[in-house]
Amino acid sequence: MSTALWLKRINVLLFVLVVLQAITGLTGIFAVVHPVGGILLVIAVAIHLYLNRAWIKATYFKKK
């Protein structure tokens, strides 16, 4: 599977997890869903950064 396809999927997952965190942070189901959603969000962000490592390196660590 290509990196672009992985990024499309992980970006959708990130959006869903951020919305889930916002909703569970405001409702009574906080204790059940919010901690697990937070862990999944951190994992998804790590995967997102890994898949974008070439762009990050090229953009932020340019040789002068």
The pLDDT tens digits for 36-64 are 889 999 999 999 999 999 999 999 988 76
Contact 51, 11 (CB under 8 A): no
Per-residue confidence (pLDDT) for residue 49, from 0 to 100: 96
pLDDT at 25 > cutoff 80: no
Q: Would you list the domain boundaries of the chain? A: 3-57
pLDDT at 24 > cutoff 90: no
Q: 3-state DSSP call for residue 38? A: helix
Segment 2-17, tens digit of pLDDT: 989 999 999 999 999 9
Contact 10, 51 (CB under 8 A): yes
